[in-house]
Amino acid sequence: MSSRKKAVVLISGGLDSATIMAFARSEGYELHGISFDYGQRHHFELQAAEKVCAANNVASHVVFPVDTAIFRGSALTNDIDVPHNRSDDEMSGSIPVTYVPARNTIFLSIALGLAESLGAHDLFIGVNAVDYSGYPDCRPEFVAAFEAMANLATKAGVEGQKIKVHAPLITMTKAQIIQRGVELGVDYSLTHSCYDPSPDGISCGECDSCLLRLKGFADAGAIDPIAYQN
């Protein structure tokens, strides 16, 4: 039995969650990864999550299936086209077409259940309000409200062991996240960000997620180690 404090880390396989897992590891937590299979168009993200967990020597990693039938109206899970080559202007200011209803609420809630069953009081999530300002559930006020709710929802909270939702990337730019990750030794070659990869998993280089990633590496003065189609 480890005597280290346990943390539940939400790990998508993207670069933010890989950074957050390295961050939690650097703080000395025993790591428990949780990923969600919510009917993504492809499974490269979940394969990346598995690799990132292995690279961080997690104590456990669970993939939780979330039935996608209720997630109607999102380009990530149905047949609406993923937009390509949108400008920064087009990406900001409105709710993106890739929005999944209540996604972070659902994912954090299930992670909270896992935390309670493990006796963990710390959740780590790589949400970011800067590059994805259109997602209501990526904002600091959402994370604070979830944490307040979690402390009223659980045995741990009731018994005075405060549940903490750590989201240290939330006000960082993509470039700052990558710089921090490089300092922490994150191997970004293991991560996957593309919404629309080739059948063999090569990133398109043109969807919103690829564009933000590429701009982040460029702004950070770092080299993105993954391959791109374009």
Q: Which of 135/195 has CB closer to a copy of itself? A: 135
Phi, psi of 82 (to 5 degrees): -75, 130
- Is 11 a known ligand-binding residue? yes
**Among residues 26, 85, 92, 117, the one that binds a copy of itself under rule CB under 8 A:** 117
Q: Does 114 bind a copy of itself (CB under 8 A)?
A: yes
Site for a copy of itself in 75-104 (CB under 8 A): 95, 99-104
- Is 109 a binder of a copy of itself (CB under 8 A)? yes
Under rule CB under 8 A, which residues in 151-170 are in contact with a copy of itself? 152-155, 157-158
Sign of the C-alpha dihedral, residues 173, 178, 181, 186? positive
Q: Is 12 annotated as a binding residue?
A: yes
Has 160 been labeled as part of a binding site? no
Cross-strand partners of 39: none
81 is in an annotated binding site: no
Query: Of these, 15, 150, 172, 186, which contacts a copy of itself (CB under 8 A)?
Result: 150
Q: Is 53 flagged in the annotation as binding?
A: no
Per-residue tokens: 130: 């800067």
Q: Which residue bears the tokens 């259109």?
A: 134
What is d(CA 143, CA 164) in angstroms, rounded to the nearest whole number? 10
Residue 195 found at the interface with a copy of itself (CB under 8 A): no
Alpha-helical (H) ranges within the chain are 15-26, 44-55, 88-91, 103-118, 140-153, 155-158, 174-184, 208-220
CA dihedral 177, 179, 184, 187 (to 10 degrees): 90
Structure tokens at 71: 């997630």
Which of 79, 81, 89, 141 is close enough to bind a copy of itself by CB under 8 A? Answer: 141
Q: How many residues bind a copy of itself (CB under 8 A)?
A: 43
Q: Are 132 and 169 in contact (CB under 8 A)?
A: no
Under the binding rule (CB under 8 A), the answer on residue 145 touching a copy of itself is yes
142 binds a copy of itself (CB under 8 A): yes
Q: Which two tokens stand for residue 219?
A: 């702004």
Q: Look up residue 151 and give its two tokens.
A: 């402390």
Return the closest-CA partner of residue 48 out of 8, 13, 20: 13
Cβ distance to a copy of itself smaller for residue 158 or 227:
158
Work out whether strand 30-37 and strand 6-10 pair parallel, antiparallel, or are unpaired.
Answer: parallel
Segment contacting a copy of itself by CB under 8 A, of 40-48, 59-67, 187-195, 207-215 = 59-67
Interface residues with a copy of itself (CB under 8 A) are 62, 64-65, 67, 69-73, 95, 99-106, 108-110, 112-117, 136-137, 139, 141-142, 145-146, 148-150, 152-155, 157-158
Annotated binding site: 11-21, 194, 204, 207, 210
